[in-house]
């Protein structure tokens, strides 16, 4: 019975869990939110420098998606050159404890994960 309920929840087109995992499960969203959570308001170029391996296009796309979902604010100042700043919304800040918990779990669990991967690689080579 429980399995059917879980499957039903994940099969819904507008399932909140699937929608959230699509957002936070991408490569950059959690990192951007974590940085904004610890550093506060940042300009695009500051975010770009903090995440060395992200392309400007991907940073733009991810910021736009996070803004669309109401997780970050984008504030544009009417000046030349344009100045744009990004910060977490109240809603985005509510996600920070989960991000921190997930980040801590990843750091603590990485040795065990790497060991498990190594064992699987060894099995493949037999």
- pTM above threshold 0.85: no
Sequence-separated contacts (24+) of 65-74 with Cβ below 8 Å: 65/23, 65/26, 65/29, 66/23, 66/29, 66/32, 66/33, 66/92, 69/23, 71/23, 71/29, 71/33, 71/95, 72/32, 72/33, 72/36
Tens digits of per-residue pLDDT, 53-69?
999 999 999 999 999 99
Tens digits of per-residue pLDDT, 103-114?
999 999 999 999
Query: What is the spatial distance between Cα 24 and Cα 26, in angstroms, rounded to a whole number?
Result: 6
Residue 52 pLDDT: 86
Residue 38 pLDDT: 93
Query: What is the spatial distance between Cα 122 and Cα 45, in angstroms, rounded to a whole number?
Result: 43
Query: Do residues 108 and 42 touch, judged by C-beta distance below 8 A?
Result: no
């Amino acid at each position: 019975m429980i399995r059917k309920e879980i499957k039903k929840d994940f099969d819904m087109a507008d399932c909140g869990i699937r929608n959230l995992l699509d957002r936070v499960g991408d490569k950059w969203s959690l990192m951007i939110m974590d940085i904004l959570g610890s550093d506060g308001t940042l300009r695009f170029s500051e975010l770009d420098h903090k995440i060395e391996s992200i392309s400007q296009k991907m940073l733009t796309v991810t910021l736009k998606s996070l803004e669309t979902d109401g997780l970050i604010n984008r504030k544009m100042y009417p000046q030349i050159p344009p100045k744009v700043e990004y910060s977490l919304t109240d809603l985005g800040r509510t996600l920070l404890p989960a991000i921190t918990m997930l980040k801590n779990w990843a750091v603590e669990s990485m040795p065990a994960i790497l060991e498990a991967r190594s064992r699987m690689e060894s099995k493949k080579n037999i």
